[in-house]
Structure 1
Amino acid sequence: MGRHMRNLFVAGCVLLWLLPLYLLVVNSLTPADEYTGSVDWTPQGFAFFDNLESAWVDAGIGDSFGSSMLYAVVCGAVAVLVAAMAAFAVIVLPIPRPALWFWVIFSGTLFPLQIFLAPLFGMYADANLYDSRLGLMLVYAAWAVPFAFFLIRNQMTTMPPELTEAAMIDGASMRRIFWRIHVPLMRSGLGAAFIFQFTAVWNDLLFGITLSRSPEIQPVMATLNSLNQAYSSAGPPVVLAGALVVSLPTLLVFLVFRGLFLRGITASAR
């Protein structure tokens, strides 16, 4: 009886998750000039590519899509590399008070992002970093480090210290130990951390609308947010078609690397 109830509960949760996705797909197919303003539960035509063209070209989602891909890939990779080095320093190197350094770095995940917006905006305006790709890449990379550090550090604690001791006896430097021993053994954890940070940067809206305004600089979520206001005459199907395409990269990254992601999460949770 308990097993059946659990299965029914899981099935209900799946249906609740799939229902908005179904409505998103169905209403993105409706021709924009035929949209009545009410939710369509069945397809009323097939104008998805016309709606997508309006969102991609006229609203500038295509430019911001490329910008977000740059931010997510580069900043995610940089954040994972910095986090791995920080975790190596805290776990392996003989630094004083490693627990203190852990909390200093991890505290970046504990504060709400809103408290950083006002000082960041002022600093960026003074340093001419406002509305620039470099400015957004700096904040995204810094923002992604603490959680990546947490995941990688947890996996690194499971590695036997005898590996480092044996390498040091053989005369290996700390740089060589990091790149030749720890990085290869932490591939799954590094991959899981990158997927998390890729998704976080891709889905960011707050920094995008605060620190940029140009369509070619703004991340795709900021452009999608302004699409409904700037092109309200185009109709909701155009916005929904854009939202559907914008959601695909994170889904594809997870599906392609799901094995690596699951191994990394398992290793970090030990």
Structure 2
Amino acid sequence: MNRIPSSRVPSLRVPSPRTVLMLGCGLLWLVPLYLLLVNAMIPADAYPGEPSWVPRDLALWENLRTAWTDAAIGDSFLNSLFYAVVCGAAGVVVAAMAAFAVVVLPVPRPTLWFWVIYSGTIFPLQMFLAPLFGLYADANLYDSRLGLMLIYAAWAVPFAFFLIRNQMATLPPEVTEAAMLDGATFRRLFWQIHVPLLLPGLGAAFIFQFTAVWNDLLFGITLSRSPEVQPVMAALTTLNSAYGASGPPVILAGALIVSVPTLLVFLAFRGLFLRGITASAR
């Protein structure tokens, strides 16, 4: 009887701890998503009162329509999309200018300015709510789009500044010196040389700030109240109160609508995001 050489016997590969950890994290993320989809399909008047693990009906479209039109979450969805795009982009541009000033311009004590700007990420947001509410009430900015845009843009600056400044510090100084020898002004140096070189970092910072503004609830419920101004997360809490008696399916359908934009942004720009994070971590 011929024996198979031991070198040809296939051996079972034991997954590494890293693989097990990643699979566990993926499972922890997929299980709530599965429950969200399954229970959002149940008709609101037929909800059994406890989460269902097995799909029963196909009322997802009806629940989505109810959440979008009848519960008026569509207006707040467009508000948040406007806030996230405009304020995220404005915050990234201001942060890039601040990083350029700290790294390139001959400003005195650049390290001090770095910590002054970056300190905006250290303090908890709750400590700003009372002064902001009083200031907005006195300045007639409460429950206005301009008021939310100002706080969202300012909120986006410190962390975006941290990412962009780290990437800008890795650029070779010879690039700046050569451009200045050719007569380039600081404005041209920023817009035509540094901004194109920093596109991955700018993209990663924008994705972070888009997600942060989109997921904001604290400022939304504190500084606004009307559906024409409220962001979508604040509207989702209103949906929870208004449709709580009809069961979670409509609320879960609204949560499904809310989760789509950030997922699409990450899927569409994941390559740019990874390049930006890698460049900022050097």
Task: Give me the TM-score of the superposition, normalised by structure 1.
Answer: 0.98
Structure 2 gaps, min length 5: 1-12
Query: Of residues 48, 71, 76 in structure 2, which corresponds to 1:36?
Result: 48
Deviations 1:81-127 (A, max 9, x none): 00000000000000000000000000000000000000000000000
Larger fraction in helix: 1
Counterpart residue number, 2:71: 59
Within the alignment, does 1:134 sit opposite 2:146 as a pair? yes
- CA separation in 1, counterparts of 2:113 and 2:14? 46
Does residue 246 in structure 1 map to residue 232 in structure 2?
no
Give 2:219's aligned residue.
Answer: 207
Are positions 1:227 and 2:239 aligned together?
A: yes
Greater Rg, structure 1 or structure 2?
Answer: 2
2:16 maps to what in 1? 4
Q: Which amino acid aligns with 1:219?
A: P
Q: CA deviation at 1:2?
A: 7.2
1:25-83: CA deviation from partner (whole Å, max 9, x where unpaired): 00000011110111100111010111111111121100000000000000000000000
User: Residues 126-170 of structure 1, C-alpha deviation per residue, up to 9 Å, x if partnerless?
Assistant: 000000000000000000100000000000000011111111111
Q: Give the secondary structure class of the aligned counterpart of 1:255.
A: helix
Moved over 3 A (4+): 1-6
1:19 to 9, 27, 31: 31
**Which residue does the alignment assign to 2:59?**
47
The one-letter code sitting in structure 2 at the alignment partner of 1:183 is V
Q: Which residue, out of 174, 180, 184, partners 1:172? A: 184
Which position in structure 2 is the counterpart of 1:118?
130
Structure 1: which 5+ residue stretches go unaligned?
none
Q: Alpha-carbon deviation of 1:4?
A: 3.3
Of 81, 87, 102, 1:69 maps to 81
Alignment RMSD, CA only?
A: 1.0
- Counterpart CA distance in 2 for 1:14 and 1:204 is 24
Distance (whole Å) between structure 2 residues aligned to residue 209 and residue 231 of structure 1? 18
* Percent of pairs with identical residues: 74
Distance 1:235 1:183 in 2: 50
Q: Aligned partners of 2:132, 2:157: CA distance in 1, in Å?
A: 17
TM-score when normalising by structure 2: 0.94
Output the CA distance in 2 between the equivalents of 1:243 and 1:127: 33
**Could you tell me which residue of structure 1 aligns to residue 193 of structure 2?**
181
User: Which residue matches 2:106?
Assistant: 94
Match of 2:150, as an amino acid? L
Alpha-carbon distance in structure 2 between the residues aligned to 1:234 and 1:57: 16
CA separation in 2, counterparts of 1:268 and 1:7?
26
Structure 2 letter corresponding to 1:196: F
From 191, 196, 207, the equivalent of 2:203 is 191
